[in-house]
Structure 1
Amino acid sequence: MTHDHAWTQESGPLAWPMSFRAYTGHGGLREHGDDISIVASDRPATSAAMFTQSLFAGPAVVLSRAHATAQNLRAVTTLAQNANVATGRQGEENAAEVVRCVAGILGIPQDEVLIGSTGVIGRPLPMGTIRTHFDETAKRGYAAFMAKPLDVARAMMTTDTRPKTAVRTVGQARIVGIAKGVGMLEPNMATMLAYVFTDADLPPTDLDRALRGAVNRTFNCLSVDTDTSTSDTVAVIANGAAGPVGPRQFAEALTDLCLDLTQQLASDGEGATKLLRVTVGQAGDYKQANRIAKSVLNSPLVKSAVHGADPNWGRVLMAIGKNTNDTDIAPGNVTVRFGDIEVYPEEPEADTLDKLAGIMRHDEVDIAITLGLGEAEATVYGCDLSADYIRINADYTT
């Protein structure tokens, strides 16, 4: 796929951009499988990052937010299965110790390391096994850094059923993204954990502008269950090894990559069987379009109907109508479509309802709404609601 002949979406084996390398290993955070990862640039880099606005932001977020201010991050380490949130002063000290260990292995300053931690809230990190693990890794040095992007994406997973990766090319530079997250998922700044690595040469101001623009149109348009995590982090690191690229072309490619990851995250929502997209057009402004779209996307009744392929389109009207502060919305000006079938204001016939049920049986379901107020439009991304969502979260810590 190309876009204005400025960037491309790659296919084939996924590899890191130039001068990046990675490590994954088992540090005892979960019973089996890799649960610690490190991705690092061999050379200095520029960076941009965004973090959760949760009042219970974890120590990893607090520490990383401080490190990110200089916009010179060059490494990311992630601990899976333990969020290290609500763990008091000890949790802060443990996060700082993990960063010290990683910085020591890499031979870089501590404030150039970002840390992500994801999983159960309220449990201390098993620092004994983590220290031992890092000691052994340090002895191996860079010989241990042979992991591929897919390995890191797998090591970050908690209740995810599959790893999430994406890649784009801009000029001679490559952009590689990895992400995790399927529950406690409605970002309010960024997303679960999402990291982007590129060998493009960009100044921090352009990188930051590109990231914020991309997040606003992608990760901030994502919701699985309306809940904002205490650990949400998104960051981009650019080491310049491939030379400069056009800021606009980079921003477009970054947005497309983040949209790719957003839809992967939405379709793998906890218990999900379908990707749900809701588009609201002809809104008064973008905020209104996004707000109404999220209201429909997040409705348990709408999500349940989508799961059961029940053509109960009245639930969409309900979800629009409960936005009682949007007094400029007039029912007579609203239209609603499922796929290419209009269900309001044209009342569907019986055979149309059968066709509508058929559309709702697809793996991807699109709902389109127009408000008849202006020209603004927003699309949001989520999933259906199944009994498995309850099962997963009822048994999460056991």
Structure 2
Amino acid sequence: MTHDHALTEAAGPLVWPVGFRAHTGHGGLREHGDDISVVVSDRPATSAAMFTQSLFAGPAVVLSRRHAEGRNLRAVTTLAQNANVATGRRGEENAAEVVRRVAGIAGIPADQVLIGSTGVIGRPLPMSTILAHFDETAGRGDAAFGAGPLDVARAMMTTDTRPKTAVRTVGQARIVGIAKGVGMLEPNMATMLAYVFTDAEVPAGELDGALRGAVNRTFNCLSVDTDTSTSDTVSVIANGAAGPVDPAAFAEALADLCLDLTTQLAGDGEGATKLLRVTVGGAGDPGQAKRIAKSVVNSPLVKTAVHGADPNWGRVLMAIGKNTDETGIEPGKVTVAFGDIEVYPEEPEADTLDRLTALMRRSEVDIVITLGLGEAEATVYGCDLSAGYVRVNADYTT
């Protein structure tokens, strides 16, 4: 499955909003290619951020949480291929030193820098090569900051097969988003690493509300393998260079951009060959709709059926039925469809099965469920489960 990163004409070209610049380079975290990135606003900004709820949150998350409290972040730096998690006091000191170096290069206070680290857990950062890179970067001055959004998205990748970017406009302002993450991915706060930059002028409180609303509808509706990372981070920085915008229009544009990134992440899940969307309607409340939808999208049996283009609706019923705490659900009220073809409660005719199989062979598969309990609805995003997922993760650290 492919995604068009050239973006629509309405969204505009993939360049930074006014007042942002970026650097990428090789710091020895991986054998070849850029693995360090920095994006910085040249002017003061407002910000909002959300982080993993994992009990083993890494030093980058712990430090960034403190910095995010000021709601005035101006820079984001990311280290790829090494999560710097479960590395003790040494890991904390290394994260702080990276932030200090980035702040010095960017010419801003250290507490206005957010740091993300992603990759293998339990290995110390190779600080000698990282610091050598920052020394060289500082010596280049402004010339070091010529990277574009696509360069940063590529530098953040670990097991991703392609970079994830998105652009939206609102009024005279632009919103640019970049993300990475294809495994250890069921967010419970935000998701993987996702950074949004805009030249819109948005008060910090409004920005925080817009981000939380967008995350709830998008990143928190994403699951590749049910595992929540120790390093998940999402942030938005708004520097106001383009002036104020309509708050409702901005919130909707931000949510639309996050949904774009969400579907890109789901479609690039480790070993994935198909994007899987599960929509549950007729629920008693939005929470119930999301719980049931995630139960289906996370089911290994459903995911393997999707991979094999097998319209096995019995597995969908199983995934709904195992939610034994949902005592209000009655089988007689439930309907299940693959795309626009209903498969339960009435079994499809024999001549419909060929059409079902053809539908299941598509690169995007939709499962639609109604519970018959109310008006609430939720859509969640995931992918199929293939032998490729096992290969990627069995060999990950080697």
What is the TM-score when the length of structure 1 is the normalising length? 0.97
2:396 matched residue in structure 1: 396
CA 47–320 in structure 1, closer or farther in 2 if over 3 Å, else same:
same
Structure-2 separation of matches of 1:196 and 1:187 = 17
1:289 matched residue in structure 2: 289
Q: Is 1:256 the counterpart of 2:256 in the alignment? A: yes
Could you tell me how far 1:246 is from its partner in structure 2? 1.0
User: C-alpha offsets along residues 325-368 of structure 1, whole Å, 9 cap, x if unaligned?
Assistant: 11110000000000110000111122212211110000000000
Matched to 1:277, the amino acid is R
Structure-2 separation of matches of 1:274 and 1:196 = 26
Could you list the runs of 5+ residues in structure 1 that have no partner in the other structure?
A: 1-7
Matched to 2:142, the amino acid is Y
Structure-2 separation of matches of 1:13 and 1:168 = 10
CA 9–214 in structure 1, closer or farther in 2 if over 3 Å, else same:
farther
Could you tell me how far 1:141 is from its partner in structure 2? 1.2
Structure-1 separation of matches of 2:131 and 2:267 = 36
Tell me if structure 1 keeps the 8 A contact 2:11–2:168.
no
User: C-alpha offsets along residues 24-75 of structure 1, whole Å, 9 cap, x if unaligned?
Assistant: 0000000000000000000000000000000000000000000000000000
Q: Is 1:115 the counterpart of 2:115 in the alignment? A: yes
2:71 matched residue in structure 1: 71
User: C-alpha offsets along residues 280-330 of structure 1, whole Å, 9 cap, x if unaligned?
Assistant: 000000000000000000000000000000121110000000000111100
Could you tell me how far 1:143 is from its partner in structure 2? 1.1
User: C-alpha offsets along residues 152-198 of structure 1, whole Å, 9 cap, x if unaligned?
Assistant: 00000000000000000000000000000000000000000000000
Paired positions, count: 391
Question: Where has structure 1 moved over 3 Å in runs of 4 or more?
Answer: 8-13
User: C-alpha offsets along residues 183-231 of structure 1, whole Å, 9 cap, x if unaligned?
Assistant: 0000000000000000000100000000000000000000000000000
User: C-alpha offsets along residues 75-125 of structure 1, whole Å, 9 cap, x if unaligned?
Assistant: 000000000000000000000000000000011100000000000000000
Matched to 1:184, the amino acid is M
Tell me if structure 2 keeps the 8 A contact 1:9–1:168.
no
Structure-1 separation of matches of 2:247 and 2:41 = 21
Structure-2 separation of matches of 1:131 and 1:332 = 63
Could you tell me how far 1:9 is from its partner in structure 2? 7.0
Could you list the runs of 5+ residues in structure 2 that have no partner in the other structure?
A: 1-7
1:322 matched residue in structure 2: 322
Structure-2 separation of matches of 1:264 and 1:179 = 9
Secondary structure, counterpart of 1:213 in structure 2: helix
Structure-2 separation of matches of 1:288 and 1:392 = 33
Secondary structure, counterpart of 2:100 in structure 1: helix
2:354 matched residue in structure 1: 354
Structure-1 separation of matches of 2:107 and 2:65 = 21
Secondary structure, counterpart of 1:201 in structure 2: coil
Q: CA RMSD in A?
A: 0.8
What is the TM-score when the length of structure 2 is the normalising length? 0.97
2:309 matched residue in structure 1: 309
Secondary structure, counterpart of 2:348 in structure 1: coil
Matched to 1:116, the amino acid is G
Tell me if structure 2 keeps the 8 A contact 1:9–1:169.
no
Tell me if structure 1 keeps the 8 A contact 2:12–2:167.
no
Alignment of structure 1 residues 133-152 onto 2, 5 Å: 133-152=133-152
What fraction of aligned residue pairs are identical, expressed as a percent?
Answer: 85
Structure-1 separation of matches of 2:248 and 2:354 = 45
2:3 matched residue in structure 1: none
Matched to 2:293, the amino acid is A
Matched to 1:259, the amino acid is L
Alignment of structure 1 residues 35-46 onto 2, 5 Å: 35-46=35-46
Alignment of structure 1 residues 177-192 onto 2, 5 Å: 177-192=177-192
Could you tell me how far 1:142 is from its partner in structure 2? 1.5
Structure-2 separation of matches of 1:217 and 1:347 = 32
1:230 matched residue in structure 2: 230
1:85 matched residue in structure 2: 85
Matched to 1:270, the amino acid is E
Matched to 1:121, the amino acid is I
Could you tell me how far 1:10 is from its partner in structure 2? 3.6
2:241 matched residue in structure 1: 241
Matched to 1:273, the amino acid is T
